[in-house]
Amino acid sequence: MLNQIRSSIPQMNRGPEGLGLKPIFHSVRDIALILDKTAQAGYGYLKAGTVMAVNASTAGNTGKLVPYVPISTSVVLGADSAIGVAPMVQNGASGHFYVSLDDAYKFGEGDDVYFDNDSDEGPVDMGTITDIDVTTSTLFADITCTAYTATNATVAKKAYAYVKTHASDPYTVAKYILDKDVDTGYGAEALGALTSVVVSNAILYKNNLINLTAAAITSLGVEDGRFFILK
């Protein structure tokens, strides 16, 4: 994919030189168990090999795929580990949390959400989203939720919110691996994506997978040297 410089002037933009797309399959793809799924809107461009989770909310976007969020000590804002979260851009208030206008479209009314921070003071249940206000402020979105009581969700502590994908602490669990690149959209025009995922019976290149943490390995299969065996 070419890098695009958005200026109205003749130009030629080169992407980085390399060996092309990294393969994820060591075994034959045709023998793997593949499922068609729908990815939730707002998470941008997701690469093949991204570990995915399933929205476990009781309403909202239930059943849609979202990027897997590692346990809190593994999330680094701005890195691959944070592709499934929305960083706080203003300190939380009782019943409200605040993210960028674009990140607000990662959530929907009815989604169950949690927050954590880099001080590992979570996960904290924020309850269910009842309203997403992207019109009052030009700087941030105001998301109303049913349970959050405004402690430690601060910008200074690099707090972030994420969709619930598991019934118990840390309320996030790996479920599938994307087997192709997809664009879920970002911001107000995000619509989600139809995609396919690898479920089992595959040997994958471990180093080409995104967010394959120790917890994800335990959930999905076993590692063997440079390979990951999806059982």
Task: Please check whether residue 22 lies inside any domain of the structure.
Answer: no
Task: Please check whether residue 24 lies inside any domain of the structure.
Answer: no
Task: Please check whether residue 56 lies inside any domain of the structure.
Answer: yes
pLDDT tens digits for the chain (231 residues)?
445 555 667 766 665 555 456 799 999 999 999 999 999 999 999 999 999 999 999 998 999 999 999 987 789 999 999 999 999 999 999 999 999 999 999 999 999 999 999 888 889 999 999 999 999 999 999 999 999 888 899 999 999 999 999 999 889 999 999 999 999 999 999 999 999 999 999 999 999 999 999 999 999 999 999 999 998
Residue 46 to residues 68, 146, 171: CA-CA distances in angstroms?
11, 30, 22
Task: Please check whether residue 44 lies inside any domain of the structure.
Answer: yes
What is the predicted pLDDT for the residue at 8? 66
d(CA 186, CA 41): 7
Backbone angles phi, psi at 206, to 5 degrees: -55, -45
Task: Please check whether residue 55 lies inside any domain of the structure.
Answer: yes
**What is the domain count for the chain?**
1
Task: Please check whether residue 8 lies inside any domain of the structure.
Answer: no
Strands 112-116 and 124-133, sheet pairing: antiparallel
For residue 170, whether the previous peptide bond is cis, meaning omega lies within 30 degrees of 0, is yes
d(CA 113, CA 92): 14
For residue 94, the enclosing domain spans 29-230
What is the predicted pLDDT for the residue at 15? 59
Task: Retrieve residue 112's tokens.
Answer: 């169950």
H helix runs in 44-143, sequence order: none
At a CB cut-off of 8 Å and minimum separation 6, what does 228 contact? 203, 204, 205, 206, 209, 212, 217, 220, 221, 222
Task: Please check whether residue 7 lies inside any domain of the structure.
Answer: no
Task: Please check whether residue 1 lies inside any domain of the structure.
Answer: no
For residue 67, whether the previous peptide bond is cis, meaning omega lies within 30 degrees of 0, is no
